Structure 1
């Protein structure tokens, strides 16, 4: 492919990973993690380790199978097209449900400055849909334009995290930081499974470079480097800022806040600084939204080019943008937002986040099984598979069941793709043989 077809080098691929991970989740998670104390820190370490193991397995498989267009195509090549279609379909569902969650969270942050945006649930839903379509339009300009937006927004969204790190360093130097008692929750170590599930959602996106490897220059080398660097750096930053906020401010105060980052900065630097952090939190969600809108078009495109989805999903315009599937994804995301318009923005966020986590876990499990069967990155794949199973248990039977049900909706699409392939083979055979009566 040309440079235009592969616009993502190491820095852009890393920015895509970091930008997709640092979205709304980390800016809301201290609220849920605060009551866990040190158990929350352990949960972060477990989730980050699991993400690194799965990401490493994806990258190593990509190195061993460079002819494949991404992680879904690799899964199909190893486990069969049926499994490949189902997990790829599940991952595609997770992209547009993520978009609904992130766009809603971005609007809730923007509502600090424009209360009319969130005056009613319907207002919030309409503003969320408007934001989705704004970045759909950006991605219609091509992957290169989306990549540039991602680099800029990733750099800017790091600022509120750096502000929190600076305050934590100052608290440590002045001796004002006080660690909570070990382990810091009445559930003790029994709460670890629930905490691991909570810390997984903000880490989703670590796999995105491996999902669109056909857009990455020198993917055998770049995907591995970008995945490892992006996941480890972002994960460590998550531990520091999330645990730091929970440790520096009373847990009950953090748990009662709708904007824990703004609360933290405002506590130590004043109201103006808190509002500035709220603005950057909105920017973080917007940057993540851009990355996930890119993925919602690229994942089905890669599957169609691998023969796993009907050709309809692989149609592109002159900029090599899968316009049809990009528009379809944004329509489905908008419908999800409208279906939750009667809820608060936070309620809609939680619902969409639950759908996302439970659908994407099936891809993680499948890629680990594929690595084990190919005897590639056996130890990381084994650990990643165990982590995925643990996260499914933590999500609960109901949530995991919904994830499985959504995954199985890909079965008719698989039949459609197989039927189309059968028709194409029949036409080719007839053309080779010629019409009846030819000699």
Structure 2
């Protein structure tokens, strides 16, 4: 355990959580939101409040539940062993979908350098699978290389996004923003719902907020506070950057762009600057993809270690890389890329995001509803329990709204994917029952 002098303070933890949260999730959102109009920016306000409730809840879970498994362990506190498996399974599926969505984002920005990629949907598909294979092979060398690359590349998107939210206002046109506000005359509630899943996507990863509580000074105070500060700052940057871009680029042009941040910097400065930003975005996507694929390999490996996933997912090389599990994951990613081929890259991205967000709400809701049991078992004060229960309930309600906002198609296929997980768990439960009979 780290000594008090070596522990992280409030600002240090806030910075870490902010960097973890801000990644490639924002990279295509301006184009996606522009398809509804600037009115969809109202979704950020709802999502920011919901994300803060989710972040606070996960911070509390991480502080008081020290069992391995993260969200899966939190859910098991209230719902038992089956929920541990379903949370792990759905999170694994969500990360597979997220990997393909990030690869689609990267291809969108690569099209500025390789126009061949946008000539046909098949060309785009070839680009997506090439990036998925490249990043997966890079993970074969184990966690050290992945960590070094991801820590560096994440700044390729953070710097342009934060920069745009600060300096972009010098180019901002109120008239253009007004024209982009509601070009399709949708209702306010409809506009908010259309953007909920997209904006929630940008905050995925918030579940890791409480993971560093053991290395933080006064974690009972600093972990929840850092999470709230980081989420607030991230929300401000997201809202500012996606709002200012609507007042610089005409709505129709923005809605059809596959590289919105490159486009806006080219408009603000010159095409060369736009190309530099586009290149940084590609690098950030690749680094983010490396990190997500590594995380998913570790999720499946941890589940295999406790015999909830097939043992092949837990087999590692001398570099501590579960390559066999990674190859299985790559096959699933490639299959999903085939199933979601679309003439519009932005449309393909939106389909993937809606499905990923719905499936990720399953472990979110399961784990968040474990907070009250965790707080009771930890014998916290009545006021702390009451605050946790209230904020946790708000987090669940927001998550349910996030499910609704994903749309019928995402919910339909997401429910099928979730139910398939129960088939797998039936075999696991049967195996465990047989083992118990043999012991007795």
User: What TM bracket, shorter-length normalisation?
Assistant: 0.7 to 0.9
Contact 2:62 2:213 (8 Å CA) reproduced? no
> What do the CA deviations read for 1:161-185 (whole angstroms, capped 9, x no partner)?
244235324347xxx6568559943
> What do the CA deviations read for 1:93-147 (whole angstroms, capped 9, x no partner)?
1101111111122122112112234443333222322211222222222223222
User: In structure 1, what is the equivalent of residue 234 of structure 2?
Assistant: 234
Q: How far apart are 1:15 and its partner, in Å?
A: 5.9
Matches within 5 A, 1:186-265: 186-190=185-189, 191-208=191-208, 213=211, 218=215, 221=219, 227-228=227-228, 230-265=230-265
Is 1:400 matched up with 2:411?
Answer: yes
User: In structure 1, what is the equivalent of residue 391 of structure 2?
Assistant: 380
User: In structure 1, what is the equivalent of residue 124 of structure 2?
Assistant: 124
Q: Distance in 2 between matches of 1:297 and 1:287?
A: 16
- Seen in structure 2, the aligned counterparts of structure 1 residues 98 and 205 have a Cα distance that, compared at 3 Å, is same
Q: Distance in 1 between matches of 2:124 and 2:401?
A: 35
Using structure 2 for the length normalisation, give the TM-score: 0.82
User: In structure 2, what is the equivalent of residue 334 of structure 1?
Assistant: 334
Is 1:62 matched up with 2:73?
Answer: no
Q: How far apart are 1:330 and its partner, in Å?
A: 1.4
- Seen in structure 2, the aligned counterparts of structure 1 residues 371 and 33 have a Cα distance that, compared at 3 Å, is same
- Seen in structure 2, the aligned counterparts of structure 1 residues 284 and 231 have a Cα distance that, compared at 3 Å, is farther
User: What secondary structure, in the 3-state scheme, does the structure 2 residue paired with 1:43 have?
Assistant: helix
- Seen in structure 2, the aligned counterparts of structure 1 residues 169 and 13 have a Cα distance that, compared at 3 Å, is closer
Q: How far apart are 1:74 and its partner, in Å?
A: 1.9
Q: Distance in 1 between matches of 2:179 and 2:273?
A: 32
Q: Distance in 1 between matches of 2:334 and 2:15?
A: 28
User: In structure 1, what is the equivalent of residue 382 of structure 2?
Assistant: none
- Seen in structure 2, the aligned counterparts of structure 1 residues 120 and 236 have a Cα distance that, compared at 3 Å, is same
> What do the CA deviations read for 1:386-407 (whole angstroms, capped 9, x no partner)?
1111112222233212211111
Instruction: Note the aligned Cα RMSD (angstroms).
Output: 3.4
User: In structure 2, what is the equivalent of residue 434 of structure 1?
Assistant: none
> What do the CA deviations read for 1:363-406 (whole angstroms, capped 9, x no partner)?
22212222245455212211111111111222223321221111
User: In structure 1, what is the equivalent of residue 23 of structure 2?
Assistant: 22
- Seen in structure 2, the aligned counterparts of structure 1 residues 334 and 36 have a Cα distance that, compared at 3 Å, is closer
> What do the CA deviations read for 1:151-202 (whole angstroms, capped 9, x no partner)?
1011232232244235324347xxx656855994333422222222332222
- Seen in structure 2, the aligned counterparts of structure 1 residues 50 and 336 have a Cα distance that, compared at 3 Å, is same
Contact 1:16 1:291 (8 Å CA) reproduced? no
- Seen in structure 2, the aligned counterparts of structure 1 residues 133 and 420 have a Cα distance that, compared at 3 Å, is farther
Q: How far apart are 1:37 and its partner, in Å?
A: 6.1
Q: Distance in 2 between matches of 1:288 and 1:321?
A: 18
User: What secondary structure, in the 3-state scheme, does the structure 1 residue paired with 2:68 have?
Assistant: coil
> What do the CA deviations read for 1:293-323 (whole angstroms, capped 9, x no partner)?
1121122223334554344433333444333
Where structure 1 has 5 or more consecutive residues not aligned to the other structure, the ranges are: 3-7, 431-439
Q: How far apart are 1:239 and its partner, in Å?
A: 0.8
- Seen in structure 2, the aligned counterparts of structure 1 residues 135 and 223 have a Cα distance that, compared at 3 Å, is farther
> What do the CA deviations read for 1:27-84 (whole angstroms, capped 9, x no partner)?
2222232366664343112112212211221221122111233111221232112222
Contact 1:171 1:177 (8 Å CA) reproduced? no
Q: Distance in 1 between matches of 2:187 and 2:120?
A: 39
Q: Distance in 1 between matches of 2:12 and 2:198?
A: 29
- Seen in structure 2, the aligned counterparts of structure 1 residues 77 and 13 have a Cα distance that, compared at 3 Å, is farther
Q: Distance in 1 between matches of 2:130 and 2:286?
A: 12
Q: Distance in 2 between matches of 1:239 and 1:395?
A: 20
User: What secondary structure, in the 3-state scheme, does the structure 1 residue paired with 2:112 have?
Assistant: coil
Contact 2:96 2:332 (8 Å CA) reproduced? yes
Q: Distance in 1 between matches of 2:316 and 2:106?
A: 29
User: In structure 2, what is the equivalent of residue 437 of structure 1?
Assistant: none
User: In structure 2, what is the equivalent of residue 415 of structure 1?
Assistant: 426
Q: Distance in 2 between matches of 1:136 and 1:112?
A: 24
Contact 1:92 1:296 (8 Å CA) reproduced? yes
User: In structure 2, what is the equivalent of residue 389 of structure 1?
Assistant: 400
User: What secondary structure, in the 3-state scheme, does the structure 2 residue paired with 1:108 have?
Assistant: helix
Q: Distance in 2 between matches of 1:167 and 1:314?
A: 48
- Seen in structure 2, the aligned counterparts of structure 1 residues 48 and 287 have a Cα distance that, compared at 3 Å, is farther
User: What secondary structure, in the 3-state scheme, does the structure 1 residue paired with 2:363 have?
Assistant: helix
Using structure 1 for the length normalisation, give the TM-score: 0.83
Q: How far apart are 1:325 and its partner, in Å?
A: 2.1
Decide which moves more: 365-374 or 288-297.
365-374
User: What secondary structure, in the 3-state scheme, does the structure 2 residue paired with 1:67 have?
Assistant: coil
Q: Distance in 1 between matches of 2:41 and 2:342?
A: 35
